[in-house]
Homo-oligomer: A and B are copies of this chain.
Amino acid sequence: VILEKTPFQEEKVSDLLKKHTKLDLQMRNDIYSTYHLYPPAELSEIKTTVVYPATEKHLQKYLRQEVHLIRETWEDYKNITLPFIQSQSFSIQWVYNILEKKAEADRIIHENPDPCNGFVLVPDFKWNQNQLDDLYLIALIHRREVKSLRDLTAEHIPLLRNILQEGKEAVVKHFSVPGSQLRIYLHYQPSYYHLHVHFTALGYDAPGSSVERAHLLADVIDNLTMDSLYYQKRALTFALRADELLFKKFQEAGRV
């Protein structure tokens, strides 16, 4: 069970200040005073996610752990990371369910149905869609053989451009948030190996938007335009928790 407090909803703030709200004074000094405010239940939603049954991997993901940066060369990728990915049986059935309209079909914000250069844009699980402050959407590509940033070449530029362009247009249309207020990026490492792109509100300090994990889609497109093999040459940095299996693989290879 994952519990998360959600941002305030602007239109409910006046209710919060008026409605049956209990207020206890904590401290007063000159023009400043602080209070404990206890809002009625309907004004204090907690976003709750249940994963059932949860695997050891799900539990691991949420435990606090020592974290280290890895600088993965292309050779590391081929010799350590890729064999690791292939040995794992990550289920991405939930992605296929969305792409095949077997789940969340009513949640689709935009689709380009082209099997090669198309994608589906849906709200991320992490976003409750109540306020735009923490807007979070995911573009899932229709092609199934692209695992991550490491697989991308110039061949994928039309697909990536579609996501960037149509994604922005769909977000303006549905949520009136302009493209200049969207952070559009890929994760490396991603949490699942079916290529997807994150769209988050620029003002939202989204988890995984920091420089050691996020790669701006516009930068990815420019790097591939410059050199089709950019992501098959360049070392990439990412963080791993010390208890992750991939971290152990890097340790065994003497790369940590």
Contacts and interface: CB of A to CB of B under 8 A. Distances in A.
**Main SS of the interface on chain A?**
mixed
Nearest to A211: B214
Interface string A57-85: 00000001011111100000000000000
A48 B71 contact: no
Interface stretch (A1-9, A141-149, A154-162): A1-9
B47 A44 contact: no
A243 interface: no
A97 interface: yes
A70 B216 CA distance: 13
A56 to B, nearest CB: 14
Interface string A1-40: 1010100100001001100001100110111111111111
A45 interface: yes
B202 A218 contact: no
Nearest to A183: B212
Interface residues of A, number: 80
A245 interface: no
Interface in A170-192: 178-183, 185
Contact of A39 (B27, B34, B41): B41
Given A30-B93, A31-B53, A46 B16 contact: yes
B41 A181 contact: no
A237 B179 CA distance: 13
B181 A68 contact: yes
A196 interface: no
Interface of A: 1, 3, 5, 8, 13, 16-17, 22-23, 26-27, 29-42, 44-54, 64, 66-71, 93-94, 97-98, 103-104, 107, 125, 128, 178-183, 185, 202-203, 205, 209-212, 214-216, 218-219, 222, 226-227, 233-235, 237, 239, 256
